[in-house]
Amino acid sequence: MSASNERPRDASADALLSDDPADMMVPGVVVEVDAAEAERLGAFEETALTEAEAWESNADLGDEASHGN
């Protein structure tokens, strides 16, 4: 257990930040891409759920490989 002080922060502040689009669907990872790459990937702003809700749900990524649920 690491010591942590609860502080208001970005929902995904604890994410590992990657610069490789290949890491896009890895749980716990946020990928930073440049503007040209974002355009190639059809970036859009999602408003159907909040960032916190999206972040929380990423534990379900890669569920195929586990028997946890």
Partner 1 sequence: MATDYVDEVASSIIKQLKEGTAPWQKPWEPGERFMPYNPTTGNEYRGMNAVWLMSRAQSRGFTDARWMTYRQSQEQDAQVRKGEKGTPIQFWKWQGLEPVKDASGKPVLDQEGQPVRQMVRYERPRVMGAVVFNAEQIEGLPPAPLRPVRPEWERHSQAETILTNSGVPIRHAPGDRAFYRLAEDAITLPERDQFPSGDRYYATALHELGHATGHPSRLARDMAHPFGSEGYAREELRAEIGSLMLGEQLGIGHDPGQHAAYVASWIKALENDPREIFRAAADAEKIVKLVRSYELGREQAPDQDQAIGTADPSLSAATEATQQQDTPDEAIRIPTMIRENSPAMQPPSLERTYLAVPYAEKDDAKQLGAKWDRAEKAWYVPAGVSLESFTPWLPAKGSVHIAVDANPAEQFAGAIREAGLQIDGTPLMDGQLHRVPVQGDKGRERSGAYAGHLDGRPAGYIQNHKTGMRQNWKASGQAAALGAQDRAQMAAEAAQKRHDRALEREQEAERTAQQVDAMWTAATPTQAHPYLADKGVQAHGVRQDEAGRLLVPVQDAEGRMWSVQKIGPNGFKQFQEGGQLEGGHFTIGDVQRPGPLLIAEGFATAATLHELTDMPAIAAFAAGNLLPVAQTYRVLYPERDIYLAGDDDRQRETELDGQGRPKVNVGRMKAEEAATAIGAQAVFPSFPTSTQGTDWNDLAQAIGRPQAAGQLQQALAIGQREQAAQGLAAARDDADLEHDRSPLRSIDRPTGRFDAISGRERAAVRELEHDQGR
Q: How far apart are CA 46 and CA 65, in angstroms?
A: 27
DSSP state of 22: G
Instruction: Note the residues at the interface with partner 1 (CB under 8 A).
Output: 1-5, 7-10, 12-13, 15-36, 38-51, 53-69
DSSP state of 57: G
Task: Compute the least distance from the CB of residue 6 to partner 1, in Å.
Answer: 10
Contact 29, 37 (CB under 8 A): no
Task: Compute the least distance from the CB of residue 29 to partner 1, in Å.
Answer: 6
